[in-house]
Structure 1
Amino acid sequence: MSDSRHIRTFHVVVNAGTYSKAASLLGYTQPAVTQQMKALERSVGSPLFVRVGRRMRLTEAGETLARHAEAILESLDLAEERVTAITRLRSGTVRVCGFPSANATLVPEALAHLSAEHPGIRVSLLDDEPPDSLGRLGRGECDVTLAFTYPGASDELPEDVVAVPLMEDQLTVLMPVAHPRARRRSVCLADFSGERWIAGCARCRTHFLHACAELGFAPDIAYTTDDGLVVQSLVAQGLGLALVPSLVLPFLRLDRVAGRALRPAVHRRISAYVLRGHLRVPATVRVVEALRTVTERRIGC
């Protein structure tokens, strides 16, 4: 179609009735208005005005365009306002994909902080474990991914993906409160070589099996689930132990289960991942900053 400036000038000419009055209202010269109208007529492929005495009368094409011009300009104004709001951080929607324990802890804290600082920014949430969550980022299904890696392992990231380290999350052994070793403040994984276990997601399970192999035993994995509530219920019923992140500790059923830190300590690294180009999108940057703020608070506690 045509330049939006020409549509705006056309709208003023229609209301003013002459090029000279329109030029005066717009602060243009009359030749400038004339040239814009000629350019608009070339764009639509038809004359828009015919002269009747000193006034301009719309042709059929001009009348059609006039009926739509106001709606076109209102839509453009609305679009410009929304884009400006996004670039000035007043609004915008950011899609965040996190793993379950992060979505239950870090993300709500970050969203509360974000809501206080930038109430116009909206966040939609997805739930997925790595590496699948990183695949979502690459396919454009989300804007920010929260994922974790274990010691000795790392994700091969495409060049356009940036990792923002957030925190180290210590691993703990989850056991029934009646378990003999629940009286200790920390435990060694090798002490549980004869126990039954409940394993989590594929990445957690791989790390767990590797850690046990280094200690010289193969764990008896009785159940597999990445649902934290199910894990707790199974442990509470005495059906097995579980190696879980410290992020889940605030949600423990303390009357039934206990979490004890591993000795020596083992941590997994939690990071936020974004496409490099999204670092130029203010709303996305503010979400990442909110995540960094809440994780720094946790580290400082």
Structure 2
Amino acid sequence: MFDSRHIRTFHEVVRAGSYSAAARELGYTQPAITQQMKALERTVGVPLFTRAGRGLRLTEAGETLSRHAELILGSLSAAQQQLAALARLRAGRVRVCAFPSANATLIPEAMARLLAEHPGVRVELLEAEPPDSVQRLLRGECDIALAFRYPGAPTEVPDGLDEIPLMEDLLTVLLPVGHPLGRRHAVRLADLDGERWIAGCPRCRANLLQVCAEEGFAPDIVFSTDDNLAVQSLVAAGVGIALMPALVLSFMCHRKVTGRAVEPHLRRQVSAYVLREHRRIPATGLVLDHLRRAAASRVGC
């Protein structure tokens, strides 16, 4: 394995033409230059220089190394610059894995502000429902995971992860326009007994079953999908109604669908998760900060 100091010194010796000239340029003593070149030759296994009068001449091995030295030093310099840029937030790559409604709401708002203030930061966006998003974080497939949990769900955070609470997301009921209960400002969950339901992801479906059971009925689930746009289309078509987070309301596409608050109020906790040691990485911390700001702007909406 080459020592980068030796390569740098070798390059200067070749450029300057002698050990003494290289020593003056680098601020070393000539014996120090000599020792470094001997160490480099031991690493290479063959001589790099031969004497030519008072100067030096490169051997065949020396010529070969000389051709590569500039490239090696250029790559090292580029790496140092990239690392410095990363530390100064001029560059960086952060992989974020979030659930669909966060990808459609929190992520765009956070990333717009982030890129306006720090255009050198690059974000790769992945999508997965919890707990898969957190598992991808644990496997090293992303740097930040956004996930949600419902009241009563386990709150234990896996070892090595930090949880950053972002917001509480109010749950609403999606009804087709013209539904009798759509005239109300808020709908009692118990009044939805007897309706056909469209369930979401497994975690959302489990929550729907639980909250309906607490109100004394079992929902008639006729369709299940974790595609928010598909849910809206199904509700618009009169297939059923759905319990959806308020985050979804901001990108509802169907004019034939309306959202109403549910009584008693139902919420889910939205959090970001990150490996504990990664919170010290500047670009990661920056993305987390902008996610917090985006979530705070939606509290009470």
TM-score category, normalised to shorter length: over 0.9
CA distance in 2, matches of 1:54, 1:253: 82
* SS of aligned partner of 1:299: coil
Cα deviation digits, residues 130-172 of structure 1 (max 9, x gap): 0111111111111100000001113533210111000000000
Q: Which residue of 1 aligns with 2:271?
A: 271
> Which residue of the partner structure matches residue 249 of structure 1?
249
What's 1:67 paired with? 67
SS of 1:216's equivalent in the other structure is: coil
Alignment partners' CA distance in 2, 1:116 and 1:58: 52
SS at the partner of 1:218?
A: coil
User: How far does residue 284 in structure 1 lie from its aligned partner after superposition?
Assistant: 0.9
Post-superposition shift, 1:58? 1.2
Unaligned runs of 5+ in 1: none
Give the 3 Å change call, closer, same or farther, for CA 300–192 of structure 1 in structure 2.
Answer: closer
Match of 2:110 in 1: 110
Computed over aligned residues only, the root mean square deviation of the Cα atoms, in angstroms, reads: 1.2
**Cα distance in structure 1, aligned partners of 2:62 and 2:248:** 66
- The match for 2:226 is 226
Deviation string, structure 1 residues 27-74 (Cα, Å, up to 9, x no partner): 221111111111111221222111122101112211111111111111
Find the counterpart in structure 1 of residue 50 from structure 2: 50
Report the alpha carbon displacement of residue 247 of structure 1 after superposing the two structures with TM.
Answer: 0.2
Confirm or deny that 1:141 pairs with 2:134.
Answer: no
Residue by residue, what CA displacement relative to the aligned partner does 1:168-217 show, whole Å, maximum 9, x if unpaired?
00000000110111011111111011000000000000011011111111
Residue of structure 1 in register with 2:202 after alignment: 202
What's the TM-score once normalised by structure 1's chain length?
0.97
Partners of 2:236 and 2:254 within 8 A in 1? no
Instruction: Give every structure 1 segment of 4 or more consecutive aligned residues whose post-TM-superposition deviation is greater than 4 Å.
Output: none
Counterpart position of 1:83: 83
Q: Which amino acid aligns with 1:34?
A: T
Partner in structure 1 of residue 99 of structure 2? 99
CA distance in structure 1 between the aligned counterparts of 2:230 and 2:31, rounded to whole angstroms: 76
Q: Which region of structure 1 is more displaced relative to structure 2, 99-108 or 48-57?
A: 48-57
**Cα displacement (A) at 1:253:** 3.8
Matched pairs, number = 301
Identity %: 64
Deviation at 1:106, TM superposition (A): 0.3
How far did residue 255 of structure 1 move? Answer: 2.6
Q: TM-score, normalised by structure 2?
A: 0.97
